[in-house]
Structure 1
Amino acid sequence: MITDSKKEEIRETADIVEIVGDYVKLKKSGTGFVGLCPFHNEKTPSFHVTPSMGIYKCFGCGESGDVFSFVMAMEGVGFPEALKSLADRYGIDIPDEHVDGDDERTKKREGVYHALKYAGLFFYRHLKENEDAAKARDYLKRRGYDHSIIKKFGLGYAPANSQLLKEATREGIPEEYLAEADLVKPSNRGDGFYDTFRDRLMFPIFNPSGKVIAFAGRILDEDKKAAKYVNSSQTIVYNKSEVVYGVNFSKNEIRKEGEVILVEGYTDVITMHQHGIKNVVASSGTSLTSGQINILQRYGKRIVMIYDADSAGQKAMERGMNIALEEGMEVFLMELPDGEDPDSFVKQFGGESFLDYKRKHAEDFVTFSIHKAEKEGRMESPGDRTAAIRSVLESIALIPEELERQVYVQHLHQQTQKYRKGSDRELFQVLDKILAEKKSQRKFRKRDKQSGPNAPVPHTIGDFSPEPEWSGDSKPVPKKKPHYEKEIIRLMLSYGEKMIKFIGHNVAEDHFEDEELKEFYNDIIVRHVNEEEISVQHYSNREKPYPGLVGDIMLERYSVSEKHAKRTGSEVKRDRNPFKTAKYSMKPLRLHFLERKRRDVTERLKQVSGEEKSKLIKTITKLQQEITRIQKISADELFEDPEFLKSDDTSNFTGKFEYKMKGEN
């Protein structure tokens, strides 16, 4: 097993800002960082990383945790694999002994990752050493790829026979994991497996943190009747609609430039990297999806799309443009000269010429669409002109932000004024009509989904029905933990022994409704009795779910800016009197506990009779009397000041919690 000291070494070494930065474009904010949450779709950043505590928290969906839980969530692995992944990244040696995963699915994912990593090294080694790989090496040489770029992108060669299967099983990798990774397939004869990739140039596909998750294999014999590319099928670690080729190499440059260049092919990406253009990715041989756009949004807001000039490429460009607009990206498009693709253009003219060409010819989607319609003669007849303008308005209607829509409509007005001779009013009228049509379509689609024979009838008031709690794509909003329960834990963590004594004297574990917070409270009490450390740092370094809970409890959604405090000379404190804060948190805690107890007794009342029923009625009466008393009395009156706190110490509390025991000097 990996020792606790080794876990702490990994935790202390791993930079949570760097790790989260693999997936989220972070911006400095006060003592922490903020960005768009990777756990749900959002347009306004609500995801906070606090490096001093080593934790993250999203105030939109509630997700929180530490560096380990983030890796587990992003890569879909268990705790042991997250440890190993971070150890590998930061060069920390860990024991080779087997470590049990959380469950069978986690073990399978880890086994698949291991099989893919082994395959990547296997293909790379065979490209370098196998005699049969000479044609692959010649192909790469003709492409102009040097050793460094081949190594960087992990290019390889898959032998013609099923050699991967033989060597991997000899190394102890089970056939099950090789099959789950789509590295081998079952024989039609039912007598075992064979390699998925044979006699092909191999392109590993990586996730944002640099793990191999799939492969693409290119044929080397052009005369052979076979598909030019064979791609990995969907697996438990690879969803092609949510993968962007090259993003692991490009993410930092995309952040730096604030812009991503989207091309079609793997070789386009590699060639451009070799010529110094590094903010470039490809859509992995698939039509662009919203999942891929969401990945790119983490690193930059602006996208420049370059597609082939053939009809298929143009249709793909239009579809991709609309998806990117709908996801809130700033979209530019560019066509290269006839017969050129990014790979050939950069090889012929160089990286600087490409960047210069992009500066001159990349156009925002409105300008590009109108210029394209002009070139194709679609702005000549009134009917074609109307259709072209309406098509652009339909794209504008996809933009989520109203202000951006207004700006683009005015821009469209300027681009088409010579054809229309009118104002932008007519364009806004058409846009409003398109938006109304889209809203109506969404309403009907929603109604159709709910109109099955067993569909529930929604509760309505007048013509309105209540909106669902969650409108995002990923998952419903989890039940929020009661604020007053989190405050109790926060105070105990923040103010130490005397606060724990005070709260422990007035609060029992069954007062907590949230199970995780109840366990947190119990753990604090046990550690207090045993005179063990109780601190934010301790629980940030503990096992799941404590780091996530610490983030949820200790981080505030809104706080006074440090710059403002320095500028004004003011200091805003959250707890001017922590003792009083505790009272005002314990009151609703006790009140809700009694209300839950009353509801439970009321439910039991329905199932009993006779003497037992009479007892329960008396219990309900007493509970209601106590609830009424608590509702009427102030928190200060409800809880007596503890004997070990002196009133003169607490009345103007502004600093460290240093109440003294009676009799202390």
Structure 2
Amino acid sequence: MIPDEKKEEIRETADIVEVVEDYVKLKRSGRSYKGLCPFHDENTPSFHVTPDLGIYKCFGCGESGDVFNFVMEMEGIGFVEAMRTLAQRFGVSLPEEDDPEFDEEHNLREGIYHALRYAGVYYYRQLIESNEAEQARQYLQERGYNREIMQKFGLGYAPREGEKLYKAAVDSGLNEEYLSEAGLIKPSKRGEGYYDTFRGRLMFPIFNPSGKVIAFAGRVLGNEKTAKYINSPQTKVYNKSEVLYGVNFAKGGIRKSGDVLLVEGYTDVITLNQNNIDNVVASSGTSLTPGQMHLLHRYGDAITMIYDSDSAGQRAMKRGINIGLAEGMDVKLLELPQGEDPDSFVRQFGEDSFRELKEENSEDFLHYLVHKAQEDGSWDEEKEKVITLILESIAHIPDKIKREVKVQKLNEISKIGDRALFEELGKILKELKKQKERARKRKKREREREQKRQREEQQQAPVPHQPDGHTRAFEQQVENSKPQRRAKPKTPPGKKPNYEKELIRLMLMYDRTMIDYIGSLCNEQQFENEQLKTFYLDIIERYKEEKEVSVQVYADREHPYPQLVGEIVLEEHSVSERHPEKTGVRYKRDKNPYMTAKGALKALKVHYLESLQRELQQKYDQCETTEERKKVMRTMKEVGRQRTLLQKTPPDELFPDPESDEGESLTKKVFEYKMKGEE
């Protein structure tokens, strides 16, 4: 096992803000950073990262955790893999580990990454060293690419011979399965052996936002009658609908400018980068998707689409407008002179001319669509149709106020009358809502059909007469625990758990630092009492809106807040006011408020897991198949393990100490041990 001190070293070394910024555009807000939550769709930032505590929290959906949790959620990996990923990134050395978490799925993903990394190095060396790659080098030199830019983007060359990569990789000890799963080799049609997927092509590695090679694109050289580009297939690490070429290099530039340039081709991205324009990505030769736009929105709020001036480029541009608007992006469009693309324009006219063209010619989507209609004559001949198409784009904007502003601008241009435009927009919005509902129902039916198919397959599969030892033991454990499930509720009706009241009290009596601390370590789902759950959510909402949170504020609120405040803050038996006079010691309820919070948080989470266990036991009784029961059993076992771990671990070890000035003063130790001779 990896030692605990190594885990803490990674936790202390890893910059959570830097890690989160791979996926979310953050802005500083006091001690914290704010951004749009990557775990749910939202238009107003409710996702907070607090570097002092090394934690994140979304006050919209409740997701929270530390840097390890974030990497696990975003990458879909386990704890140990997340730990190793962070260790590699921040230069923390780790021992080799033989851990159960490194199961087949993990090993396969890591094997795929290793195969892709090997291929990237192999292709690059072929480009630089191989005589066969002379045509590829000549092509790149004609585009003005220097060695530095070729190395930065990992450009390479795939040899024409059908098995060169395959043989070299196997000779180096790489598993055939990893090469195949990575899409680098294909089985021979003759029935034995493999051959390379990419042959005789200029290679463009495709990276994920954190800089790992996840796929390749290969460009044909010369005038061969074959596809100009071929791309890696979908794999366990590559989903082309959620990937954009160059995003790993563009993140910083997009954050700095607030704007992303979307182009069509790989060479457009590389040429612009070589000319100091680094906020640029390409859609990798595929139609723009909502997943790709969502990825871009993590880093910036505005997008300028730059497509080729040919008919195909213009069609792609118009398709992308609605996707960008639906994501809540500020969409602009830039049309280059006839026959030019970003690559050719910058090589011919330079960086300054490109920036000047973008500044002067970029148009808001509405004005762009109007101008295009005026150019091709449809504004005069089919004005109603054009306006309807523009309104359909406006309808995709999620923000109502922004929609109304766009309609008013359209009215200024069209002179039709805003009443008529708003009526038409209302019809379009209604139809759009119906389309979304039909799509939702269609997906639901497809999901139900798939679930039915899986159930039928399970029913047809032979069921063993005797379960294995592990399953049998666990089934017995469930049977033994059933009477507990029918026990009376853990708290009498109407009585509020003390630990829940304690958390609310601490949030009321101390400043925003305490609200931030508690809010980052729990969520409303873990509260059992409905009134206290509502109270918690109300405090969080006021915290998000930067409104005052105090006993006085809630004492003056509507029912039932004054009653709850009295019940939470005032003790049934208060300490005598003369107590200090008699004893010389002044009583303070919270000698260490953060320790009080930790104890209450531990109790909250333990009771929540107990409740979850009862629900799972009920679900187990309702399972129709052996496979379903096994799945529920595994979940019950994991919940039980977590509950036991919580119960055995002291609160001070479960939750981090706040690192603010106030936190340090409230948590500092009374006694510090010194070695003999240090006095």
The TM-score normalised by the length of structure 1 is 0.70
> How far apart, CA to CA, are the structure 1 residues paired with 2:95 and 2:24?
31
- The alpha carbon displacement at 1:129 in A equals 1.4
- The alpha carbon displacement at 1:181 in A equals 0.7
Which residue pairs with 2:298 in the alignment? 298
> How far apart, CA to CA, are the structure 2 residues paired with 1:184 and 1:590?
50
Which residue pairs with 1:459 in the alignment? none
Which residue pairs with 1:335 in the alignment? 335
How do 1:421-500 residues align onto structure 2 when only pairs under 5 Å count?
422-444=416-438, 487=500
Code of the residue aligned with 1:269 in structure 2: it is V
User: Is residue 201–residue 219 contact of structure 2 (8 Å, CA) maintained in 1?
Assistant: yes
How do 1:69-108 residues align onto structure 2 when only pairs under 5 Å count?
69-96=69-96, 101-108=101-108
Q: What secondary structure, in the 3-state scheme, does the structure 2 residue paired with 1:380 have?
A: helix
> How far apart, CA to CA, are the structure 1 residues paired with 2:504 and 2:606?
16
357 and 6 in structure 1: CA distance in 2 versus 1, 3 angstrom threshold? same
- The alpha carbon displacement at 1:240 in A equals 0.2
> How far apart, CA to CA, are the structure 2 residues paired with 1:656 and 1:11?
23
Q: What secondary structure, in the 3-state scheme, does the structure 1 residue paired with 2:186 have?
A: strand
- The alpha carbon displacement at 1:123 in A equals 1.3
- The alpha carbon displacement at 1:11 in A equals 1.8
Which residue pairs with 2:29 in the alignment? 29
- The alpha carbon displacement at 1:429 in A equals 1.5
- The alpha carbon displacement at 1:148 in A equals 1.1
- The alpha carbon displacement at 1:405 in A equals 0.4
User: Is residue 500–residue 604 contact of structure 2 (8 Å, CA) maintained in 1?
Assistant: no
How do 1:381-420 residues align onto structure 2 when only pairs under 5 Å count?
381=381, 384-417=382-415
> How far apart, CA to CA, are the structure 1 residues paired with 2:79 and 2:56?
17
> How far apart, CA to CA, are the structure 1 residues paired with 2:607 and 2:522?
25
- The alpha carbon displacement at 1:226 in A equals 1.8
> How far apart, CA to CA, are the structure 2 residues paired with 1:595 and 1:103?
30
Q: What secondary structure, in the 3-state scheme, does the structure 1 residue paired with 2:261 have?
A: strand
- The alpha carbon displacement at 1:66 in A equals 1.7
Which residue pairs with 2:207 in the alignment? 206
Which residue pairs with 2:120 in the alignment? 120
> How far apart, CA to CA, are the structure 2 residues paired with 1:192 and 1:486?
64
Q: What secondary structure, in the 3-state scheme, does the structure 2 residue paired with 1:379 have?
A: helix
User: Is residue 203–residue 217 contact of structure 1 (8 Å, CA) maintained in 2?
Assistant: yes
- The alpha carbon displacement at 1:292 in A equals 0.2
Code of the residue aligned with 2:540 in structure 1: it is R
Code of the residue aligned with 2:426 in structure 1: it is D
Which residue pairs with 2:269 in the alignment? 269
378 and 561 in structure 1: CA distance in 2 versus 1, 3 angstrom threshold? closer
Q: Does residue 1:167 correspond to 2:161, yes or no? A: no
Code of the residue aligned with 1:26 in structure 2: it is L
Q: What secondary structure, in the 3-state scheme, does the structure 1 residue paired with 2:325 have?
A: helix
Code of the residue aligned with 2:69 in structure 1: it is S
C-alpha RMSD of the superposition? 4.3
Q: Does residue 1:557 correspond to 2:545, yes or no? A: no
> How far apart, CA to CA, are the structure 2 residues paired with 1:416 and 1:294?
32
How do 1:228-307 residues align onto structure 2 when only pairs under 5 Å count?
228-307=228-307
- The alpha carbon displacement at 1:77 in A equals 2.9
User: Is residue 499–residue 603 contact of structure 2 (8 Å, CA) maintained in 1?
Assistant: no
User: Is residue 499–residue 600 contact of structure 2 (8 Å, CA) maintained in 1?
Assistant: no
- The alpha carbon displacement at 1:61 in A equals 2.8
- The alpha carbon displacement at 1:6 in A equals 2.5
- The alpha carbon displacement at 1:291 in A equals 0.1
User: Is residue 26–residue 35 contact of structure 1 (8 Å, CA) maintained in 2?
Assistant: yes
403 and 284 in structure 1: CA distance in 2 versus 1, 3 angstrom threshold? same
378 and 53 in structure 1: CA distance in 2 versus 1, 3 angstrom threshold? same
- The alpha carbon displacement at 1:8 in A equals 2.2
329 and 423 in structure 1: CA distance in 2 versus 1, 3 angstrom threshold? same
Q: 5+ unaligned residues in a row in structure 2: which ranges?
A: 450-490, 508-513, 527-535, 556-564, 570-587, 620-664, 671-679
> How far apart, CA to CA, are the structure 2 residues paired with 1:594 and 1:173?
46
Identity %: 54
> How far apart, CA to CA, are the structure 1 residues paired with 2:4 and 2:618?
48
Code of the residue aligned with 1:319 in structure 2: it is R
Code of the residue aligned with 1:394 in structure 2: it is E
Code of the residue aligned with 1:208 in structure 2: it is P
Which residue pairs with 2:639 in the alignment? none
- The alpha carbon displacement at 1:549 in A equals 5.3
- The alpha carbon displacement at 1:79 in A equals 3.0
Code of the residue aligned with 2:19 in structure 1: it is I
Code of the residue aligned with 1:429 in structure 2: it is E
- The alpha carbon displacement at 1:78 in A equals 3.0
Task: Spell out, residue by residue over 1:219-261, the C-alpha distance to the aligned partner (whole angstroms, 9 max, x if none).
Answer: 12x2222211110000011000000111110011101111001
How do 1:118-197 residues align onto structure 2 when only pairs under 5 Å count?
118-161=118-161, 162-197=163-198
User: Is residue 491–residue 578 contact of structure 1 (8 Å, CA) maintained in 2?
Assistant: no
> How far apart, CA to CA, are the structure 2 residues paired with 1:150 and 1:331?
31
Q: 5+ unaligned residues in a row in structure 1: which ranges?
A: 456-481, 495-535, 541-545, 604-654, 661-665
> How far apart, CA to CA, are the structure 2 residues paired with 1:444 and 1:365?
28
- The alpha carbon displacement at 1:175 in A equals 0.7
The TM-score normalised by the length of structure 2 is 0.69
Code of the residue aligned with 2:212 in structure 1: it is K
- The alpha carbon displacement at 1:121 in A equals 1.3
92 and 131 in structure 1: CA distance in 2 versus 1, 3 angstrom threshold? farther
Code of the residue aligned with 2:346 in structure 1: it is V
Deviates more, 1:483-492 or 1:330-339: 483-492
> How far apart, CA to CA, are the structure 2 residues paired with 1:562 and 1:46?
10
Code of the residue aligned with 2:11 in structure 1: it is R
- The alpha carbon displacement at 1:64 in A equals 2.1
Q: What secondary structure, in the 3-state scheme, does the structure 2 residue paired with 1:177 have?
A: helix
486 and 210 in structure 1: CA distance in 2 versus 1, 3 angstrom threshold? farther
Aligned length: 521
> How far apart, CA to CA, are the structure 2 residues paired with 1:141 and 1:16?
40
256 and 577 in structure 1: CA distance in 2 versus 1, 3 angstrom threshold? same
- The alpha carbon displacement at 1:365 in A equals 0.6
Which residue pairs with 1:509 in the alignment? none
User: Is residue 59–residue 544 contact of structure 2 (8 Å, CA) maintained in 1?
Assistant: no
- The alpha carbon displacement at 1:372 in A equals 0.2
Which residue pairs with 1:62 in the alignment? 62
User: Is residue 503–residue 600 contact of structure 2 (8 Å, CA) maintained in 1?
Assistant: no
- The alpha carbon displacement at 1:557 in A equals 3.2
